Amino acid sequence: MKKVSIKLASIFLLSILMISCDWNDDVQQQTYDYSYGISIFVNNGKVGVTSVRNKNDAISTEYWIDSVKTDSATFTDLLPANSFYRTSINKNYIASSIFRKSDNSVVVYGFTRLENLNPYNHMMYYKDNVKVKLDTTAIGMISAAAVTDNKTVFAGYFGESAQSPSGNYLLPTKPFYWDGTSYTKLPMPSGVSYFNGMSCIYIEGDDVYTSPKINFPMYWKNTEAVILSPLEGEVTQIKVVGTDVYAVGYYQKQSSSSIYTACYWKNGTITELEEGAFAYGIFIDGSDVYVTGAIGIYAASYKACYWKNGERVMLKNN
């Protein structure tokens, strides 16, 4: 059941959960409403957070400035240079990442979350709403991008067709990053029991940092694996500030537990934020560390929040 639990905990959480049923003459599904933060930044003292909200199967992105809801245009105007934020899926199952370069130009990359065997969905992405198909017949997915002024690098995986009782599906097999010209295949460390795709990517100078969705938190610096814990968990975002490497995510403190702890690692040293919680985004503002995610033990109980230096702030819906 570890594989199921960690997929439910991931930044791209598309499954719809049945909360409970009342058995009278008919079976009735109760309403549900859950949310979790996926990106955070700070600009001129204002804290911007994007969160995913699922209210009775309606999935949307919410935008917050200092814990007050706003619109996407106002939110993007606040985005500082050399930063980005992520959104939930839209009606076409495209999740986006919005980047602001140092010249204040904005570029939007979109990635399909329909992981199936349809060739239309393979090895492609969207740039400013225009589809870009890679020149390859391989099957697989492009999952995320990292953007600087003069470079864009993508994280993804090659896959193969596999069978299940419900039919064929796309099975991720080999992780890679792609610089627009060549693929760099990433070696799996020992002890990996499953691979569910790629979580994130980050560029700092000539170095590329990527993280997979596997059974323990780790990342690659270029092709070198950095293991953060042998326990169940995941890295959901990486950020480099100077010589410091921050990896945010969550892990299980005890292998026998099903409760995750939101946390981040700075140069491999862990800082725990809260048990019964998940973390998906991080931003460093001077000496302050901001992390966004959710409190909750399972997806349907998630409530979006962020932590400033470990102090939690809830993002409350009306």
19 is a domain residue:
no
Short-list 234, 249, 238, 245, CA closest to 294:
249
User: Which range of residues forms the domain containing residue 63?
Assistant: 33-314
The pLDDT value given to residue 10: 44
**Amino acid letter, 199:** S
State how many domains the chain has.
1
264 is a domain residue:
yes
27 is a domain residue:
no
254 is a domain residue:
yes
The pLDDT value given to residue 162: 92
Name the token pair of 228. 């953060």
28 is a domain residue:
no
The pLDDT value given to residue 166: 84
Its pTM surpasses 0.85: yes
199 is a domain residue:
yes
Helix-strand-coil percent breakdown of the chain, rounded to 5? 5, 55, 35
> Going by C-beta distance under 8 Å and a sequence separation of 6 or more, which residues neighbour residue 87?
38, 50, 61, 95, 96, 97, 98
CATH of the domain at 161: 2.120.10
104 is a domain residue:
yes
CA–CA gap between residue 20 and residue 38 (Å, rounded): 26
Q: Please report the DSSP string for 63-110 in residue order.
A: EEETTEEE-HHHHHHHPPTTEEEEEEE-TTSEEEEEEE-TTS-EEEEE
Which stretches in the chain have pLDDT values below 50?
A: 1-28
119 is a domain residue:
yes
Per residue in 13-70, pLDDT (tens digit) is 444 333 333 333 344 456 889 999 999 999 999 999 999 999 998 999 999 999 999 9
H-run or E-run covering 2: helix 2-9
The pLDDT value given to residue 29: 56
